[in-house]
Amino acid sequence: MINNPPSPDLPLPSALPTTRPDDAFRHGFYFTLGTATIALLIFLSWKVLDAVLAIAAPFIGAVILSLLLEPLVRWVQVRVTGGHRMRSVGAVFVVFLSILAGIFAFAGPPLVTQSQRLIRFFTPVTYTITRSVSEKDRFVTVADGIADTAFTIKNLVNNADYQFIVYAVNADGEKFASPVAATKPRADADMAEPPPARTEQKEVNSSTPITNVTIPPGSPQSLSARPGDGSVRLMWQPPAEGRSGFDVLRDNIDKWLASHRKIGPVALPKDLDAVTAQYSDQVSQSLQLSASRLTTFVASSLGGLINVILVPIIAIFILADIDKLRARTYMLLPDGVRKFAQTTVRDIEDVFGRYLRGLFIICSMFGGSCMVFLFVASLWLPGLRDYVLLLGVLAGVLYTVPYIGAISTVALTAIAALSTGGGPMGALVAAGGVLFLNQFFDYVVMPKVVGETSGIHPLMAMFALFLGGHLFGLWGLLLAVPIAASLQGVLFRLYPQLAAPTPIALLLPERRPSEEDTVPPPDKEKPKA
């Protein structure tokens, strides 16, 4: 076989590239180093963002306050101070803080009083159970924060004498002791029938029935102990006096359930305990956890007070130097995008500021309207008068959170009316009036004050609300809708066709071709010759 030599016109094949071991090592090292550097930058960025969000509350509040007061500062700067910015800011803040101090001095004490009354009213009586130990007159706590009127104590020794005391704890933390109940667990006990309770004043006296003992009005009544196999079932009646509105409301619900066994074909439970029996342990633990976190709540409240003090201080610096800060920021941008950035920022400030100022006016008007309505309703429901100011302020604050705020306001009004003796009809009237005011402000007053261009579709508002709450908590709930409205306003300015009415042709369904459209028309008859 003869091999033909390659043609002189064709290029000779080049040698295959070879990779040296040191090149592969160098590439792998740089890839690993780059990956580690990116991961470190991401981690540091996350830490910095987390730290910024932790301290951002007073700065966000200061920005909101600055946007609210900016038009007033500019008006004073032009009309009063002759263009002096710092004097305008100082004058506006003196007037603003004076008005704020007057409002707090006038409405602060009643708000605190009504809040404390509401907390006491809705804080249920809880119970603490103590058990005797071997030493005489010594008791140890075996359970606290109990919300029910029965409790089973386990892991006891059979045929040993035990004494128990149940304390009723009210909203102020005061304890009222029950008489002492003594019993002895037995292996053959089945807790079928409770033995007669034994009580004592200084020492246990088995011959003294509980009915002959004077029980303070705030103490648990009729304490009894059923022995079991290594356990004891304690049962008692709630205190005769000093009970919270929550307990009274619960009794009213039980009486209503006892007299209404069915609503149509739906069978109702015999009492509220039948509904919440499976959740009693969780309720008790929640109450205990809430009580243990009282100190933390007070400390966080003090931290919130510091933030409130910092907000006007930061806002003063923002209003005094906002023009310089904005100009210096624009200097860092290239000339080609500087004009676009200025226009976009101006649009965002305009939409966001107008929305916040309009929302502030709407919230004030809505809260005042709710106060007037509830005061008129209190002529028919006298108990509601004790919460008019508090419910009005809460209504104005909660109006900043769309949909969820309305539901919360209506629910709080209904509960307050029901628990103060208004009955179902009073609760329905009070809640219905507040709901009507909310809808009136949403669909009539809000578009007039804030403007049509700042309103967004309810579906987008709900999406922005849940997204903001998930990402940033309370601040996300408060600012989600204004930010979404600002972005929508910017998009409307960049793309005016988005704000134009939707063409009717696009709303009509597409017409499908019929058989008459697909069949060709018959040929016309030829004229006769």
Domain CATH number, residue 235: 2.60.40
What is the arithmetic mean of pLDDT over 222-232?
86
| Cα-to-chain-centroid distance, residue 258 | 34
Which pLDDT tens digit goes with each residue over 33-91? Answer: 888 888 888 888 888 877 877 777 788 888 888 888 888 888 998 888 888 888 898 89
Are residues 350 and 368 both part of a single domain?
yes
* pLDDT band for position 277 (cuts 50, 70, 90): low
**Whole-number pLDDT of residue 207:** 33
Total domains in the fold of the chain: 4
Q: Which of 219, 244, 269 is the last residue of a domain?
A: 244
506 or 482, greater pLDDT: 482
Distance CA 494, CA 144 (A): 62
**Whole-number pLDDT of residue 210:** 40
**Whole-number pLDDT of residue 288:** 46
- In this predicted structure, the answer to whether residue 325 has a pLDDT above a threshold of 90 is no
Contact 267, 256 (CB under 8 A): no
**Whole-number pLDDT of residue 450:** 64
**Segment among 131-145, 209-223, 353-367, 444-458 with least mean pLDDT:** 209-223
Are residues 131 and 202 both part of a single domain?
yes
**Segment among 9-13, 326-330, 385-389, 391-395 with least mean pLDDT:** 9-13
Q: Which amino acid is at 389?
A: L
Q: Which of 131-140, 153-162, 345-354 has the highest mean pLDDT?
A: 153-162
Place of tokens 């263009």: 83
**Whole-number pLDDT of residue 298:** 43
**Whole-number pLDDT of residue 191:** 54
- In this predicted structure, the answer to whether residue 157 has a pLDDT above a threshold of 90 is no
**Whole-number pLDDT of residue 209:** 38
* pLDDT band for position 242 (cuts 50, 70, 90): low
Could you give the C-alpha distances from 198 to 163, 194, 206, 377, 466, in angstroms and in order? 9, 12, 5, 51, 57
Distance CA 123, CA 243 (A): 9
Contact 182, 161 (CB under 8 A): yes
What is the arithmetic mean of pLDDT over 429-436?
91
Are residues 340 and 378 both part of a single domain?
yes
Q: Could you tell me the sign of the dihedral formed by the alpha carbons of 27, 29, 34, 35, in that order?
A: positive
**Whole-number pLDDT of residue 302:** 47
Structure tokens at 439: 């809808």
Q: Long-range pairs for 347-352 at CB < 8 Å and ≥24 separation? A: 347/489, 347/490, 347/493, 348/486, 348/489, 348/490, 349/67, 350/489, 351/453, 351/454, 351/485, 351/486, 351/488, 351/489, 351/490, 352/67, 352/482, 352/483, 352/485, 352/486
Q: Could you tell me the sign of the dihedral formed by the alpha carbons of 490, 495, 500, 505, in that order?
A: negative
- In this predicted structure, the answer to whether residue 371 has a pLDDT above a threshold of 90 is yes
217 or 31, greater pLDDT: 31
Q: Which of 244, 262, 287 is the last residue of a domain?
A: 244
Which pLDDT tens digit goes with each residue over 279-314? Answer: 545 554 554 454 444 444 444 444 555 677 888 888
Looking at the domain assignment, is residue 465 inside a domain? yes
Looking at the domain assignment, is residue 304 inside a domain? no
**Number of other residues whose CB lies within 10 A of the CB of residue 394:** 21
208 or 246, greater pLDDT: 246
What is the arithmetic mean of pLDDT over 436-440?
90
Looking at the domain assignment, is residue 463 inside a domain? yes
Contact 422, 386 (CB under 8 A): no
**Segment among 23-27, 275-279, 458-462 with least mean pLDDT:** 275-279
The number of residues making up the chain comes to 529
* Residue closest to 483 by CA, chosen among 506, 505, 460: 460
pTM for the model: 0.61
**Whole-number pLDDT of residue 465:** 74
**Whole-number pLDDT of residue 291:** 43
- In this predicted structure, the answer to whether residue 444 has a pLDDT above a threshold of 70 is yes
Looking at the domain assignment, is residue 253 inside a domain? yes
- Burial tier of 96 (Cβ tally within 10 Å: 0-12, 13-18, 19+): middle
Distance CA 327, CA 323 (A): 6
Helix (H, G, I), strand (E, B) or coil at 114: helix
Q: Which of 110-124, 144-158, 192-206, 244-258 has the highest mean pLDDT?
A: 144-158
Looking at the domain assignment, is residue 466 inside a domain? yes
- In this predicted structure, the answer to whether residue 372 has a pLDDT above a threshold of 90 is yes
Percent pLDDT > 90 in the chain is 5
Please count the CA atoms within 13 angstroms of the CA of 443 that sit on its side-chain side: 7
Are residues 226 and 250 both part of a single domain?
no
Are residues 274 and 322 both part of a single domain?
no
Looking at the domain assignment, is residue 52 inside a domain? no
Percent pLDDT > 70 in the chain is 71
**Whole-number pLDDT of residue 367:** 92
**Whole-number pLDDT of residue 521:** 57
**DSSP-based helix, strand, coil % in the chain, nearest 5:** 65, 10, 25
What is the arithmetic mean of pLDDT over 428-434?
90
* Residue closest to 397 by CA, chosen among 382, 412, 383: 412
Helix (H, G, I), strand (E, B) or coil at 287: helix
Are residues 237 and 318 both part of a single domain?
no
Could you give the C-alpha distances from 36 to 32, 33, 44, in angstroms and in order? 6, 5, 12
Q: Which of 66-70, 211-215, 250-254 has the highest mean pLDDT?
A: 66-70
**Whole-number pLDDT of residue 104:** 84
Residue 362 sits in which domain range?
A: 335-498
Structure tokens at 56: 């951002």
Structure tokens at 167: 């304390």
Distance CA 324, CA 339 (A): 17
Are residues 262 and 320 both part of a single domain?
no
**Segment among 26-35, 186-195, 460-469, 510-519 with least mean pLDDT:** 510-519
Are residues 139 and 183 both part of a single domain?
yes
Helices (H), 378-422: 388-398, 404-417
Helix (H, G, I), strand (E, B) or coil at 455: coil
Place of tokens 């966000």: 60
Contact 131, 225 (CB under 8 A): no
On average, the pLDDT of the chain sits at: 75
Q: Which helix (H) or strand (E) holds 165?
A: strand 162-169
**Whole-number pLDDT of residue 516:** 55
**Whole-number pLDDT of residue 211:** 42
Are residues 192 and 320 both part of a single domain?
no
Are residues 344 and 488 both part of a single domain?
yes
Looking at the domain assignment, is residue 37 inside a domain? no
Looking at the domain assignment, is residue 356 inside a domain? yes
- In this predicted structure, the answer to whether residue 163 has a pLDDT above a threshold of 60 is yes
Distance CA 342, CA 349 (A): 11
Are residues 363 and 317 both part of a single domain?
no
Contact 141, 129 (CB under 8 A): yes
- In this predicted structure, the answer to whether residue 398 has a pLDDT above a threshold of 90 is no
Are residues 206 and 274 both part of a single domain?
no
Could you give the C-alpha distances from 197 to 218, 315, 406, 414, in angstroms and in order? 20, 67, 51, 42
- In this predicted structure, the answer to whether residue 98 has a pLDDT above a threshold of 60 is yes
What is the arithmetic mean of pLDDT over 139-163?
85
